[in-house]
Amino acid sequence: MKKNKKPWSGRFREPLAKSAEQFTNSVHFDARLYKQDIVQSIAYAKALFKVQILSGTECKKIIRGLEEILRGMASGKIKLNPEFEDVHMNVEAILINKVGEMGKKLHTGRSRNDQVATDLRMYLKWEISETRILIKKLQEVILQLAEDHLAVIMPGYTHLQRAQPVLLSHHLMAYFEMLERDRERMIEAYRRTDVLPLGSGALSGTSFPVDRNFLAKELGFSKVSKNSMDAVSDRDFVVDYLSACALLIMHLSRFAEELILWSTYEFDFIELSDAYATGSSLMPQKKNPDVAELIRGKSGRIYGNLISLLTVLKAQPLTYNRDMQEDKEPLFDTIDTVKDCLQMFAEMIKTMKVNREVMDRAATKGYLTATDLVYYLVRKGVPFRSAHEIVGKIVSYCEESNMELDYVSLNQLKPFCDKFSYDVQRILSSKASVESKEGYGGTSSKRVKEAIKNARAHLLYDKT
């Protein structure tokens, strides 16, 4: 193809300005779709053979040429030329150069509009599966941590104030559940991506009797798009993935924030491995949780990518508009960022040290069993609101006396309420508090062991 000779140049009297060519060029980012583009073109060649647009000989030569291009690009021997605008036109130009005039037949009935939509769906289906695998691996690490620390009690927090004692394992399993929802959202995103647009042409369909069900089977799609205009202009499936990733990175960011807090001297609940921390260029004593901080920081980047695409799409008339070229960079960046974060998070928490004694001590301070004392009085017939007020006064007394709740004697409790008896001491320890939470979903060791067992079985037998 001659320099500046575009496949669409027949209608034009002047060549595209160099500045416009550079501005509209997308080869530098859509090059990563080359495998999908070539595989799609092989399937399309077969479909054109079925409707006698290509002869058997032409079909075989085109497929052989495409396979050679695929190998050449995979090995780095074939490079994409920015002059040809995008990956699709590059592949076509290289093919025509290889097989001659017959290569010009391959685009019959096909537009770059349905071509890119198909490439993008093929690519994203793969990446959704990869994302789900990485989420599952992180869940497996969390399960192992929870199993290894079943006896560790820590303070649970509301408003970042100590609230009630919980098992560390229960706390960790909360993140397992968040990630499970993320995996479910990925399944839904995959389902919506798994629709074939190829055969929709530029916007109105094709005049050639191309077998779209055959193409769907060849390319691994479970459904075929129902409306050609919607098929070429739809990027909802990309938004679905970006939205799922925004929630996923939010969960990782919350977890990262806790690890950052827990690794401070003020908490000292955990110590991150040296392999996932850095030092200070000035202060030699520092050990900074940089990996966790970067994961937390990248949440803004993922949110931005979602908003970027929603903004691109919000005012586009049907059908395809060049604005849609802006869908790929936010998507590709999100894919790369989320996969890196999932990988790093799994490595970071797998190697961290839990300071069990510090957590255990923290769970004995801050009047964490005050609610258990309220429930004790409720069981003795005291109305909840009255019991709440009584225990509030007891906590105030303990604060004034510089005393923890589990050290208060029966003689000291009696003046506040005559319902207190000798059995009260049994419910005031953190361990007793934890073990009393036997309701489904609670923090008792029995329930947490059950949750871990069920989660392991779920991951083991989940084939989606």
Which residues are designated catalytic? Answer: 159, 280
By C-alpha distance, which of 131, 120, 108 is closest to 234?
A: 120
Per DSSP, which regions of 186-293 are E strands? 195-196, 223-224, 270-271
| Beta strands at 353-354 and 270-271: parallel, antiparallel or unpaired | antiparallel
In sequence order, the 6+-apart residues with CB closer than 8 A to the CB of 123 are: 32, 33, 36
Distance between CA atoms of residues 360 and 403, nearest Å? 18
Distance between CA atoms of residues 308 and 302, nearest Å? 10
| The two structure tokens encoding residue 1 | 């193809």
Distance between CA atoms of residues 125 and 197, nearest Å? 14
Query: Residue 168, class by beta-carbon neighbours within 10 Å (0-12 exposed, 13-18 middle, 19+ buried)?
Result: buried
Q: What's the number of CA atoms in the CB half-sphere (13 Å) around residue 306?
A: 19
Distance between CA atoms of residues 300 and 58, nearest Å? 51
Strand (E) or helix (H) holding 34? helix 34-50
CB of 352 within 8 A of CB of 344? no
| The two structure tokens encoding residue 258 | 């806790």
| The two structure tokens encoding residue 91 | 């592949």
Kindly compute the dihedral angle of the four CA atoms of residues 210, 66, 106, 61, in this order, to the nearest 10 degrees: -100
In sequence order, the 6+-apart residues with CB closer than 8 A to the CB of 253 are: 295, 296, 299
Kindly compute the dihedral angle of the four CA atoms of residues 303, 309, 314, 315, in this order, to the nearest 10 degrees: 150
Helices (H) and strands (E) in the chain, counts: 18, 6
